[in-house]
Structure 1
Amino acid sequence: MSGLKASVRALRTVFRPALSIPATTRIAREADKIGSVASGADSPKATKNYNLVANEILDKVISTCELTRREARDAAWCLWETVPALASDGATVTSLVSATEASGRRQPFRALASSYLASYAPDRSRIAEISAVLMRLAAGMGKPWASLQNDLNLFHVVEGPQNLARMAVQRNISPAAVLTSYGLGAVNAQSGFTKFCIATALEQLRDGKELRHDVRLQWVKTFALRDVRELLFQEHGPLVAEALLFPFGNSTPDEDVTDKFLAVLLRLFGDPRSQPAKWARMREAAAIVRRWLTMQSLRQFLEVVDRTAVARMWKHRRAFWGAVYDRGLISDAWVVFGPLGADAARRSFGKDISFATFDGGTVDRGHAVLLLRIGRGVVAEWSHNGRCIIWSDSEAPGAPTLHLSTYHPAALRSPNGESPSLSVPVFAITHSGAEFYAWQSKVAGKLHQMTGVRIPLSEYQVK
């Protein structure tokens, strides 16, 4: 027995705080994370200083190695969130488990079960021991605990969160709402157990447990985000992105689907083209988003300019650049809008979309430029009566860089006027003879020189 007392005294010595213990401890704030006692749950008393309670429990274990039912209830709230944390000492945990099992009453069990849910994390000290006693006792504790353990194996340290997450996904409700449906009460969405279950549910969505894209998007928006605008838990960021994107695989969904998913992702993480640091933890997801944004930028340019351009000319440009995209030649795209185009783009694609604007210079309010990375080169496709300009080497002096926020118009124009020769470093051509595919065939020839891919007339011919 002297060895046991020495180990408990050592625990007090190691964890005794150098500063005075605050009147309001972290464990008191856990009261908001679990429903009321009437619903079968328990909560710590906000008026108690559980840091002091933890020290009193240690004194009791030193002197008797036994805890009363009331002490066991208090000790349950001192396992992980107090200083000292009682779960760090095996003797104290053994005394708590013994008192809870010997009591035969629901109150110590409720406290232990509620503390487990509030503070759950799979790597918590002695979490498996607490899990085991809860599994043994749950069947005799009535509603809601018996049903939760029977249906979900809730207190199994590994299977419990997985089963709860699976049911949440199947029923399209949050893990907290599943627990509430069993009568547990208003379990807070930020409790440790709910937090871990949301992460598990996101992993299941990522791995294809819900292939209906609209349902998956709605689940993430409702239960993993706060007000649909920010992450409920910042550490869930990569899981959220992967759950939204990975089930698509290498396919690109319809435009209305990509627009809805991009609206959420760009609001949460920004544009990976201009804010790559925010996507550093999720490079594979970023690659998918960049691919979708390339197509969206092409659509921005075509659809916005489509409203003011001459239809007989514009339909040929739409057909040509659509054929270039379909061939997989466009690795990146970025749009520069004048004031009219910027307003129209936000109305059509949402205020969180990314594009650039003109900075000074002489340019019509409705004009726009589509910047494309093709092979080693960069293309500037001007709207209306502007030219198509191609720099063979995107790293050459004077070649425009994609993803800037503003551009001076002169930086996107040919330095030598029109130069439709394949031998010059800056190719430039006006969009004349569209009906006879004059400019298209010359641009296709330039792209073939740059990429080795020849696009035949049949692929960009207007049907």
Structure 2
Amino acid sequence: MSLDDTLARLRPPEPPVLPNLKTFAAAAERILHRWPDVAPDPPERDREQLVLRMEAHRVEERWDGVRMSLVTAAARAVFDATRRGRPDLADLRGFYLAEIRASHRTTFLGAMVSVYLESFAPDAPHTRALAEALSGARDRLGARWRTLVEGIPEVFRPDLAPEAIARRMVGMRSPWPELKALGLRAPHAPGLMDFVHDAYVARLKPHLTVRAEIEQLLSWLKPDDQAVARSSGAPAAIEALLGHWRTGNPPEADIDLITRSLVAFYGDPRVQQGGAWASVASDCLAVILRWLTGKDIRFFMDVVSAVEDSHMWEPRRRFWLKLHAQRRIDAAWVAFSPSGAEYARRLLKTGEVRGVVSYGQQTAGYSRANTSLLILKCGNRIVVEGSHSYKVHIFREGHPHAPALYQRAYDCEQIRLVPGAESRSHLGDWQGWVEERI
């Protein structure tokens, strides 16, 4: 045997190469993200049958072949908003409570923690009963739920849990991932987290004049890894963000952040039908409409100034922005000509214009193909400003043919020919003429 062979035999074996644990961790996280709880969430159409099957097993004491998936799915159904108060299911609910007190099966106990969190209502008898039973079982819970109980000891105190979690969230740099690390794998889930959200927004509300606090609330409403923003409790959060600015404005960068984020989350309040905006208080809704109005006026003037070579645009820009600053313009909407729309898209694509910009189209052709329109609501008047020597037109609100704001398309020639409108070219004291009529 050669020396090399001898040394090879004497050389200690190479340690085994361990797989990259990051791959497994990422796979586990994907599974937990898709199926955050061990209790199946049955569709409503199946729930009554699940409850009846579980009740039959309980009454007959027949458990051979019963799968844990049936037990946990039926638990979700029997404690949901439709069934948790039904007298005929009282014994079945009592059965689940007794099992929590006696069971050592972490799968079952974890499922019942999920049921408690999802069906949570602070003053409801079922919540208090589940909390009492689970509190007694805390030493028998699996690792995930023990982490939650250790991190938030009040979680099984219905009177304290929402405020305790909200208080903890205020001190977090990023509540979404930190709550998930504590064991709350679905921080936007209904139930307990609805009450936590309300308490959290209430705690942040006095401080939402500070950029960092604004960013924290926005990141909670829509974390980066979520496709959609939180909808439950959204009106209260929107009001908390906007309510400070009923009579003033934050820095322009904060206006841009708030408007851009809220419109991305919940749609443009000027054109969105229903949704979160439908329940926002009118005085708070007026704040974001005011901000969007200012952006529309500036954007209209910037685009038209670029596509029409006229010395008249700078005084017109100053006039309309002055009226906006004086809060004499309640709302605004833009309809660009094809050339104006092309330039607008270029500004948005290159990032020269930031924030929320929505607009319609001006569709008249021939000599008016390049005309763009700015449609304004000023008190009980609708004012139409236009480029390329288009006169200012003023309609009384309620006029049957006055142009409405927020439409997708306008024909400036049809507007010009509507009877009953007052109109004037941009000569002489046209600004005083406008101010007298609005």
TM-score, shorter chain, exceeding 0.5: yes
Residue 101 of structure 1 is matched in structure 2 by 101
CA contact (8 A) 1:245 1:288 kept: yes
Q: 2:384 aligns with which of 380, 385, 398?
A: 380
CA contact (8 A) 1:57 1:71 kept: no
Query: How far apart are 1:228 and its partner, in Å?
Result: 6.3
Residue 212 of structure 1 is matched in structure 2 by 210
Per-residue CA deviations over 1:400-452 (Å, capped at 9, x if unaligned) read 43333222221344789xxxxxxx96241235xxxxxxx4xx2342244235x
Alpha carbons of structure 1 residues 200 and 127: separation in structure 2 relative to 1, 3 Å: same
CA distance in 1, matches of 2:179, 2:274: 37
CA contact (8 A) 2:122 2:158 kept: yes
CA distance in 2, matches of 1:228, 1:341: 35
Per-residue CA deviations over 1:65-117 (Å, capped at 9, x if unaligned) read xx9xx999986664332599688544444454445435678676444324323
Residue 320 of structure 2 is matched in structure 1 by 321
CA contact (8 A) 1:161 1:193 kept: no
Alpha carbons of structure 1 residues 406 and 413: separation in structure 2 relative to 1, 3 Å: same
Equivalent runs, 1:305-384 vs 2, <5 Å: 305-310=304-309, 312-346=311-345, 347-348=347-348, 349=353, 353-363=357-367, 366-383=370-387
- Is residue 2:116 matched to residue 1:116? yes
Between 129-138 and 307-316, the greater mean CA deviation after superposition: 307-316
Residue 20 of structure 1 is matched in structure 2 by none
Letter in 2 for 1:262: T
- Is residue 2:413 matched to residue 1:410? yes
Query: How far apart are 1:218 and its partner, in Å?
Result: 5.7
Residue 181 of structure 2 is matched in structure 1 by 181
Residue 161 of structure 1 is matched in structure 2 by 162
Equivalent runs, 1:1-400 vs 2, <5 Å: 32-34=35-37, 43=39, 51=51, 52-60=53-61, 78-81=74-77, 88=86, 89-102=89-102, 109-122=109-122, 126-138=126-138, 145=145, 148-149=148-149, 151-152=151-152, 153-174=154-175, 177-182=177-182, 184=183, 187-189=185-187, 191-193=189-191, 195-196=193-194, 199-200=197-198, 203-204=201-202, 207-208=205-206, 210-213=208-211, 215-217=213-215, 219-221=217-219, 223-224=221-222, 230-232=228-230, 234-278=231-275, 279-284=277-282, 285-310=284-309, 312-346=311-345, 347-348=347-348, 349=353, 353-363=357-367, 366-383=370-387, 385-391=388-394, 393-396=396-399, 399-400=402-403
Alpha carbons of structure 1 residues 109 and 120: separation in structure 2 relative to 1, 3 Å: same
Letter in 2 for 1:304: V
CA contact (8 A) 2:296 2:334 kept: yes
- Other structure's SS at 1:187 match: coil
Q: Gaps (5+ residues) in structure 1?
A: 1-28, 35-41, 417-423, 432-438, 452-463
CA contact (8 A) 2:294 2:321 kept: no
Residue 28 of structure 2 is matched in structure 1 by none
- Other structure's SS at 1:378 match: strand
Alpha carbons of structure 1 residues 99 and 230: separation in structure 2 relative to 1, 3 Å: closer
Alpha carbons of structure 1 residues 124 and 73: separation in structure 2 relative to 1, 3 Å: farther
Query: How far apart are 1:331 and its partner, in Å?
Result: 1.6
Q: TM-score, normalised by structure 2?
A: 0.70
- Other structure's SS at 2:156 match: coil
Per-residue CA deviations over 1:330-382 (Å, capped at 9, x if unaligned) read 12212221112223334435797322211233346554222222243333222
Letter in 2 for 1:368: S
CA distance in 1, matches of 2:69, 2:360: 61
CA distance in 2, matches of 1:143, 1:357: 59
Between 73-82 and 321-330, the greater mean CA deviation after superposition: 73-82
CA contact (8 A) 2:373 2:386 kept: yes
Query: How far apart are 1:127 and its partner, in Å?
Result: 1.5
CA distance in 2, matches of 1:428, 1:357: 23
CA contact (8 A) 1:376 1:450 kept: no
CA distance in 2, matches of 1:443, 1:124: 66
Q: TM-score, normalised by structure 1?
A: 0.66
Per-residue CA deviations over 1:222-251 (Å, capped at 9, x if unaligned) read 65468666345x444434533543354443
Per-residue CA deviations over 1:308-350 (Å, capped at 9, x if unaligned) read 3447533222222222222221122122211122233344357
CA distance in 2, matches of 1:409, 1:245: 35
Q: How many pairs does the alignment contain?
A: 386
